[in-house]
Amino acid sequence: MSTPLAGAHRPLNRNDYRTLGLAALGGALEFYDFVIFVFFTVVIGKLFFPPDMPDWLRQVQTFGIFAAGYLARPLGGIVMAHFGDLLGRKRMFTLSIFLMAVPTLLMGLLPTYAQLGIWAPILLLLLRILQGAAIGGEVPGAWVFVSEHVPGRHVGFACGTLTAGLTFGILLGSLIATFINRYYTPAEIGAWAWRIPFLLGGAFGLLAMYLRRWLEETPVFAELQARKALAEELPLKKVLREHGQSVLLSMLMTWLLSAAIVVMILMTPPLLQKQFGIAPAVTLQANSLAIVALTLGCVLAGWVIDRVGAGITFIAGSLLLGVCTHLFYSDVAAGAANLYALYTLAGFSVGIVGAVPFVMICAFPAEVRFTGLSFSYNVAYAVLGGLTPVMVSLWMKDNPLAPAHYVMALAGQGVVLGLWLLKLKPMPALAAQAG
């Protein structure tokens, strides 16, 4: 059963907003490091694989390296969560940023296939794996950190705001990619300009690590520590033995989140370029609008779930996601006459992911919350989110609308999850967390 937060009914104060702001900004800078790779998959594919390789296979292998970052998330996430539940949230929250900044910086300095041969993609893969281990601890740790700092009745808003911060990292990547594609020629990008975003990412990571010096340990963990109520056994063992339903619910929620983010936000720009012949600058501008709308959608979803509950929020939000995804990809296939407007609307509908962490936070008691959330989220993202780019890329060989169909199927699952949450009400841990 979840430990109620102190002052659960008080309003947000200045310190709460400061914590949310610093955590969201740090998360944005780290998430930028993780996602900038996807905005340059076309260029990276040409530079890090043999020139005589078929174009479709090069794209699949490049997305495969991108997916490796997701496959590495469980190990990093479980290890950091283990110590986060035993030693404190803040320590792991700071460590994750360092483990992200160094590989990103090295990616910007990495020799290409023409210079290093087969070792070039191998080293790129290894650095991507290190990034995955870092982000595996960052995202669950950030959700736990902010949710345990705010009053219980504002947990949804806190999680939505933090998720909006993470999506701002995607927006930052999109804006920098847009700048690179607009102000440098394809030849200059292929020769050296593609390295700029990765070198900036290393600097962003160091800045984020510095910012987190000003954060304090969460009141919930401090209380558990003072009462000597921390987990007495391996936290993961307790999660698997006592919280199987919470793990399943969290994994299914993560599948919805991964489908929406990976397909609609991260994969769509390169797919629009490769499959539908839309100029890179145009796709990235549209993507930037979609991410702005996504950021607003995340905050709104968190605000709504605090007021109407998880069930209604996911039923309505998932239906909106399915409809908007269909409209967007149907328009793209027909010539993209309304690209900017429909991609913006689709991005806003993806904002339902801002409500996902609220359910996962409330599903686990405080003494194993970090481990339960991290295990469920990272394993599901590794298996389902990590393989999504490869599966969708292969499916698109036969069906240009494969991305839309995939997201629409998961939106349907979101409706089912919403109905499940209505039946679970009141969920014991959730009721306690809500104060």
Tell me the domain boundaries of the chain. 14-433
Rounded to an integer, what distance in angstroms lies between the CA atom of residue 262 and that of residue 13? 34
The token duo for 417 is: 């999850």
DSSP structural state of residue 218: -
How many distinct helices (H) and strands (E) make up the chain?
Answer: 22, 0
The fourth-level CATH superfamily of domain 14-433 is: MFS general substrate transporter like domains (1.20.1250.20)
Report cis status (omega within 30 of 0) of the bond before 426.
yes
Rounded to an integer, what distance in angstroms lies between the CA atom of residue 273 and that of residue 278? 5
Rounded to an integer, what distance in angstroms lies between the CA atom of residue 328 and that of residue 405? 12
DSSP structural state of residue 262: I
Cβ burial of 338 (10 Å; 0-12, 13-18, 19+) is: middle
The overall longest dimension of the chain from CA atoms, in Å, is 64
Nearest to 336 by CA among 381, 269, 391: 269
Contact 16, 191 (CB under 8 A): no
The residue written with tokens 């962003």 in the block is: 204
The token duo for 403 is: 């991305």
Rounded to an integer, what distance in angstroms lies between the CA atom of residue 203 and that of residue 33? 10
- Residue 216: helix, strand or coil by DSSP? coil
Per-residue pLDDT of the chain (435 residues; tens, 9 = 90+): 343 344 456 677 777 777 788 778 777 887 888 778 878 888 888 888 888 777 777 777 777 787 777 777 787 777 776 666 666 666 776 777 888 888 999 999 999 988 988 898 899 999 988 888 888 877 888 888 888 878 878 899 999 999 998 888 888 888 898 889 888 998 999 899 999 999 998 888 888 777 777 777 666 666 665 555 455 567 788 888 888 899 999 999 999 999 999 899 888 988 888 888 888 878 888 988 999 999 999 999 999 999 999 999 999 999 999 999 999 999 998 888 899 999 999 999 999 999 999 999 989 988 888 888 989 998 888 888 777 877 887 888 788 888 999 999 999 999 999 999 988 755 544 433 433
Torsion sign, CA atoms 159, 28, 83, 252: positive
Could you give phi then psi for residue 162, rounded to 5 degrees? -65, -40
Torsion sign, CA atoms 347, 352, 358, 359: negative
Angle of the 89-107 helix axis to the 14-35 helix axis, nearest 10: 30
The token duo for 408 is: 């629409």
Rounded to an integer, what distance in angstroms lies between the CA atom of residue 182 and that of residue 33? 21
Helix H, strand E, coil C: the string for 227-258 is CCCCCCCCHHHHHHHHCHHHHHHHHHHHHHHH
- Give the pLDDT score at 224: 60
Beta carbons within 8 Å of 396's beta carbon, 6+ residues apart:
271, 275, 402, 403
Q: What is the pTM of this model?
A: 0.80
Element (H, E) at 57: helix 55-71
The token duo for 56 is: 């479709």
The residue written with tokens 């919470």 in the block is: 246
Rounded to an integer, what distance in angstroms lies between the CA atom of residue 284 and that of residue 206? 26
- Give the pLDDT score at 248: 94
- Give the pLDDT score at 4: 38
The token duo for 350 is: 């993806």
Alpha-carbon Rg for the chain in angstroms? 21
Sequence-ordered alpha helix ranges (H) in 154-242: 155-183, 186-191, 196-211, 219-226, 235-242
Rounded to an integer, what distance in angstroms lies between the CA atom of residue 397 and that of residue 117? 29
Q: What helix, strand, coil percent values describe the chain, rounded to 5?
A: 85, 0, 15
Cα-Cα-Cα-Cα torsion 152, 315, 138, 18, nearest 10 degrees, comes to -40
Neighbour-count burial for 263-281, b at 16+ CB within 10 Å, e otherwise: bbbbbbbbbbbbbeebebb
**Model confidence over 154-183: pLDDT tens digits?**
899 999 999 998 888 888 888 898 889 888
